[in-house]
A and B are shown apart, each in its own frame.
Chain A
């Protein structure tokens, strides 16, 4: 079944702390795993993405960790800032169309 399960549903972190959001998938055909950030009233914005041939990818304060055998991947936000407060979605895709299957979303609140 093409499903991506995301947790937690909501997360509160203090400024400067590490935010961690987890996703799990079932379909082993998935070969692209992006994370999107969405602010209220805006469309999702691509943050960072990974393919299954690497176990970790870092861009600035954002890191994706990928565990192919466990079929899990996670987003780590280092030194979290109040401006990071948003909803985060993991997603996965495969095949010739590249259509994205999204997780349910995590609402992150970073307290100053």
Chain B
């Protein structure tokens, strides 16, 4: 079946521009996660949705980062006024269950953001 898809795969933005990154989770998956992966590092948690509700945004690095999942399926991560330190791969993951039902997270290929 189809896995998690993300678009665009690559994005180059000039410093100060706004960007929007899209995630299409596996159909029927309740939980959706965003992670940020710097070069040579492990992914770091950004935010979590259960259906359309954003239950945890503790990992968002600044108020320039905003995520939404309005209909409980597709999610968008928006970064306003991009800075060079925002350059990273942004990963989306989805999980069938919510909370303690299941933890298996399936990742998309990521969007590589380069801020120049």
* Chain A interface residues toward B at CB < 8 A: 6, 32, 34, 36, 41-46, 49, 89, 91, 93, 96-105
The interface residues of chain A lying within 8 Å CB-to-CB of B35 are 100
- Per a CB cutoff under 8 Å, which of A43, A98, A102, A103 touches B95? A98
Q: A43-B109, A46-B106, A97-B55 are in contact. Are A103 and B42 (CB under 8 A)?
A: yes
| B43 engages A102 (CB within 8 Å) | yes
* Chain B interface residues toward A at CB < 8 A: 4, 31, 33, 35, 40-45, 48, 50, 55-56, 59, 91, 93, 95, 99-100, 103-110
- Per a CB cutoff under 8 Å, which of A44, A97, A105 touches B48? A97
Bound together, the chains give a CA A27 to CA B106 distance in angstroms of: 24
Bound together, the chains give a CA A103 to CA B59 distance in angstroms of: 16
Bound together, the chains give a CA A46 to CA B108 distance in angstroms of: 11
Would you list the 9 A-B pairs with minimal beta carbon distance, nearest first?
A102-B42, A43-B107, A96-B99, A32-B103, A99-B45, A98-B103, A97-B48, A97-B56, A43-B109
The interface residues of chain B lying within 8 Å CB-to-CB of A49 are 103-104
